[in-house]
Amino acid sequence: MKLRFTKMQGLGNDFVVLDGVSQALALSPIQLRQLGDRHFGVGCDQILLVENPHHPDADFRYRIFNGADGGEVEQCGNGARCFVRFVHDRGLTGKRTIRVETARGLITPRLEDNGLVTVDMGAPRFSPAEIPFIAEHEAVSHSIKVAARMVEISAVSMGNPHAVQVVENVDNAPVALEGPIIEHHPLFPERVNAGFMQIASRSEIRLRVYERGAGETLACGTGACAAVVSGIRRGLLDPTVQVHTRGGELSISWAGEGQPVLMTGPAVTVFEGEIEL
């Protein structure tokens, strides 16, 4: 079968985006992995499938699959911004504020006049139901053993699970060594995204994320939200923070418990193409 796709990126976190609104699409895990493969397919960190909604209050539904293993996941921050650009640029909607159904509820991205996209990512969650590893007393951080050392991590769900640690300097943080160990740590039965955050000031962090099912990416939107939320809860950060990733800048705001996280950043179309699957 021939499949048309759009290649997009948000801060270098790259996506193959598929239009499941104009055509019915049901891809097997093998086909998804082929799309994600950088040698035998198109290559991307995640595949985004845009569909008609099931939820009565939503304009669209979008599904997210990690490119390396084809596994479906609940949420993707950079993907949410690319999703908005995609439906807007293809004329699938004229709205600039869009209600989107994800595997973890509705989120609301808005295409700004300056071309950036702001996404209301919903409230972060800290309950054991979302992150089973978190104890009932909901401490803001926990000590876990990673390789030979104890690491203090904050567990945050942005719909998908994150474990964030504070490091002195992200440039020499043990992302490649500890990322996969944290991702597969037995305390996280659903596996986890591992964040390494350097606090530059109360309003600026530097961040690297080893993503579940993808490895280290140039940026992770939900990872940025989770890192800022964990820094605010630890008393290290102000409510609005500039996040420097290897792929560029994001602005993240959070007013505190029960409030939504707002993420603003770019979304760019790279090219369109067709692949035989």
Ligand X SMILES: N[C@@H](CCC[C@H](N)C(=O)O)C(=O)O
The correct pick among 41, 124, 213, 266 for binding ligand X (CB under 6 A) is 213
The correct pick among 217, 230, 253, 264 for binding ligand X (CB under 6 A) is 217
Min dist CB 83 to ligand X, Å, is: 11
Element (H, E) at 153: strand 149-157
Residue partners of 186: CB distance under 8 A and separation at least 6? none
User: Cα separation of 160 and 202, whole Å?
Assistant: 25
76 binds ligand X (CB under 6 A): yes
The correct pick among 221, 247, 265, 266 for binding ligand X (CB under 6 A) is 221
Q: Which span sits near ligand X by CB under 6 A: 75-83, 134-142, 196-204, 241-249?
A: 75-83
212 binds ligand X (CB under 6 A): yes
User: Cα separation of 85 and 77, whole Å?
Assistant: 13
Binding residues for ligand X, rule CB under 6 A, total 20
Q: Which span sits near ligand X by CB under 6 A: 16-24, 47-55, 216-224, 230-238?
A: 216-224
Q: Which is nearer to ligand X, 104 or 202 (CB)?
A: 104
Q: Which is nearer to ligand X, 221 or 231 (CB)?
A: 221
Q: Give the closest residue to 190 by CA, choosing from 112, 84, 74.
A: 74
Q: Is 66 within any annotated ligand binding site?
A: yes
Min dist CB 174 to ligand X, Å, is: 19
Instruction: State yes or no: is 76 an active-site residue.
Output: yes
Site string for ligand X, 15-44 (x = CB under 6 A): ------------------------------
Min dist CB 193 to ligand X, Å, is: 5
77 binds ligand X (CB under 6 A): yes
193 binds ligand X (CB under 6 A): yes
C-alpha neighbours within 13 Å on the C-beta side of residue 130: 18
**What is the widest separation between alpha-carbon atoms in the chain?**
54
Distances (CA, A) of 52 to 137, 158, 246: 40, 23, 34
Q: Are 184 and 146 in contact (CB under 8 A)?
A: no
What amino acid is encoded at 28 in this protein? S
DSSP letter string over 194-244?
EEEEEEEETTEEEEEEEETTTEEES--HHHHHHHHHHHHHTT-S-SEEEEE
Beta strand ranges found along 20-96 (DSSP E): 46-51, 60-66, 72-73
Instruction: State yes or no: is 82 an active-site residue.
Output: no
Q: Is 78 within any annotated ligand binding site?
A: yes
Token pair in block for residue 35: 């799309």
Residues that bind ligand X (CB under 6 A): 13, 45-46, 66, 73, 76-79, 160, 193, 211-214, 217, 220-223
| Binding-site residues from annotation for substrate | 13, 46, 66, 77-78, 160, 193, 211-212, 221-222
